[in-house]
Amino acid sequence: MKRNFAIESAKVVLALMVVGIHVDLFIDYDLYINFISVNGLFRIAVPLFFIINGYYFFNIKSYPDFKVWLKRILSLYILWMTIYAYFWIRNHHGDLISSYEFLKILLIGYHHLWYISGMIGAGVISYLLRDRIKVGMAFSISLFVIGVVLQYVYNGVFSIGQLNIESNYYYRNFLFLAFPFFYIGYLINNFNLHEKISGFNFYLFIIVALATSILEVVLLLKLGGSGLDYDVYFSLIVFVPIIFMTLLNSGRTINSIYLSQISTSIYLVHPICLLIMKKLDVVNSLALMVGTISLSLVASVFLIYIKRLSKIRFIL
């Protein structure tokens, strides 16, 4: 099966950006650079991943195909939630978590695995709205706006009456973050939008979108300071689809799935690799980044090997 080389390569870069977020890259060098990278540039990673997934989800037309897709993603999610169970099944006191906490983590996802649960929810909604494109467009944009507003309230950028957001779970989930970008990918494929963009006006649009994204990040840095975390920005709803369509229009293809498997592996195992580095008393963020990526790449080789030789088909 031929794959778009630019997109496959971008997946690896996006996975490395996620690692950069979790090691809090440059935090011990410069707070401004740290914020611009970790809370700015690197935040295109998850939305772009969702757009890529949504674009290819468009090919799922029938209910049997949808069941196959859902089974695969659910199996991946259950397997990795089980692998990481050691880290979430008990509270800070060493006791088993309550039934409520168990169900909450199971539904939302532990740490980085929220992405998979988000993709499941986004896929289900997209399938249900497959024949109601206009409703889906309005629904996705509305949910995106609500999600970003909730995030800004959570970070104290502004307030809405007595509304109090106590956790990023309220906006970083399948409904307010995953589905909007997933569905944008779906729409790009549905309308072949990437084939309708070209020329000077498109590149001008890229520059404007990039400038708007930078302006929003800098503005939030001025308003809230460098100690806050942001998962998404208003401007990303335009900037990230443009990045994706630019990659999509690249003509070069490859017949290998390895880049995709490496990016998935890095995403799935890097928290364990990061923990190992911290146990080795590595504290410098750049050293943590290099060490975590190195261990993740080694782990990726083993995971790909296991997938090829074993019956654990859904490990990646």
Summarised one tens digit per residue, pLDDT across range 216-261 is 988 888 887 767 788 999 999 999 999 999 999 887 899 999 999 9
Q: In whole angstroms, what separates CA 199 from the centre of its chain? A: 30
- Yes or no: say if 58 and 189 are a contact pair by the CB < 8 Å rule: yes
Q: What is the pLDDT of residue 208?
A: 86
pTM of the model: 0.96
Q: Are 276 and 295 in contact (CB under 8 A)?
A: yes
Q: What is the pLDDT along the chain (316 residues), one digit of tens a residue?
A: 789 999 999 999 999 999 999 999 999 999 899 999 999 999 999 999 999 999 999 999 999 999 999 999 999 999 999 999 999 999 888 889 999 999 999 999 999 999 999 999 999 999 999 999 999 999 999 999 999 999 988 887 766 666 677 788 889 999 999 999 999 999 999 999 988 877 767 788 888 888 888 899 888 888 877 677 889 999 999 999 999 999 998 878 999 999 999 999 999 999 999 999 999 999 999 999 999 999 999 999 999 999 988 767 788 8
Q: Which of 107, 82, 112 is nearest to 275 (CA)?
A: 112
- Distance, in Å, from the CA atom of 52 to the CA atom of 12, rounded to the nearest integer, reads 13
C-alpha–C-alpha distance, residues 217 and 230, integer Å? 9
Sketch the domain layout of the chain as residue ranges.
Answer: 3-315
Residue 240 near residue 48, CB atoms below 8 Å? yes
Q: Which two tokens stand for residue 80?
A: 């990795």
pLDDT value at position 162? 62
∠ CA 273-88-37, nearest 5°, is 50
For the four alpha carbons of 74, 116, 184 and 16, in that order, the dihedral sign comes to negative
- Can you tell me the distance from the alpha carbon of 43 to that of 213, in angstroms, rounded to the nearest whole number? 11
Task: Specify the pLDDT at position 161.
Answer: 61
d(CA 5, CA 9): 6
pLDDT at 159: 61
- What's CA 198's distance to the chain center, in Å? 27
Report how far residue 33's alpha carbon sits from residue 55's, in angstroms, rounded to the nearest whole number.
32
Q: Residue 200: what pLDDT?
A: 67
Give dist(CA 142, CA 130) in Å, integer: 18
Amino acid letter for position 251? G
Q: How far apart are CA 132 and CA 153, in angstroms?
A: 32
By C-alpha distance, which of 303, 315, 301, 277 is closest to 22?
277
Looking at residue 308, its pLDDT comes to: 86
